Amino acid sequence: MQHCTFPRLSLSIFALCCGCIFAASTIVAEPAVPGPEKSEMLPLRPAELVHIGKFTITNSMLVTWAVAAGIIIFAQLAMRNIKPVPSGAQNFWEWLVQSLYEFLENIIGRDLVKKTFWFFATIFIFILFVNWFGLIPGVGTIGWGHYDPATGAFHVDRPLLRGGNADLNMTTAMAAIFFMLWFVWAIQAQGVGGFLLHLFGPKGETSGIVKILMIIIFFMVGWLEVVSILFRPIALSFRLFGNIYAGESIIEALSNMVPLLSWLIPIPFYFLEVLVGFVQALVFMLLTAIFTLLIAEHGPEKAH
Three-state secondary structure string covering 26-37: CCCCCCCCCCCC
The number of residues in the chain equals 304
The pLDDT tens digits of the residues spanning 247-303 come to: 888 888 887 777 677 767 778 888 899 999 999 999 999 999 999 998 887 544 443
81 within 8 A of 93, measured Cβ to Cβ: no
H/E run at residue 131 = helix 110-133
By the 10 Å C-beta count (0-12 exposed, 13-18 middle, 19+ buried), 80 is classed as exposed
Residue 56 pLDDT:
87
Q: 272 — alpha (psi -120 to 50), left (phi > 0) or beta? A: alpha
Residue 117 pLDDT:
94
What secondary structure letter does DSSP report for 87?
Answer: -
Please tell me which residue, 220 or 21, carries the higher pLDDT value: 220
Section 35-52 average pLDDT: 72
**Could you give the C-alpha distances from 283 to 128, 132, 226, in angstroms and in order?**
11, 15, 22
Taking alpha carbons only, the member of 127, 4, 107 closest to residue 63 is 127
Q: Which residues, 6 or more positions from 60, have their beta carbon under 8 angstroms from its beta carbon? A: 24, 46, 162, 163, 164, 166, 167, 169, 170
Section 16-24 average pLDDT: 57
- What share of the chain has pLDDT > 70, as a percent? 81
Please tell me which residue, 299 or 88, carries the higher pLDDT value: 88
**Does the pLDDT of residue 5 top 70, yes or no?**
no
pLDDT band, residue 152 (cuts 50/70/90): low
**Does the pLDDT of residue 176 top 60, yes or no?**
yes
Q: Which residues, 6 or more positions from 260, have their beta carbon under 8 angstroms from its beta carbon? A: none
pLDDT band, residue 186 (cuts 50/70/90): very high
**Lowest-pLDDT choice from 6-20, 103-117, 127-141, 173-187:** 6-20
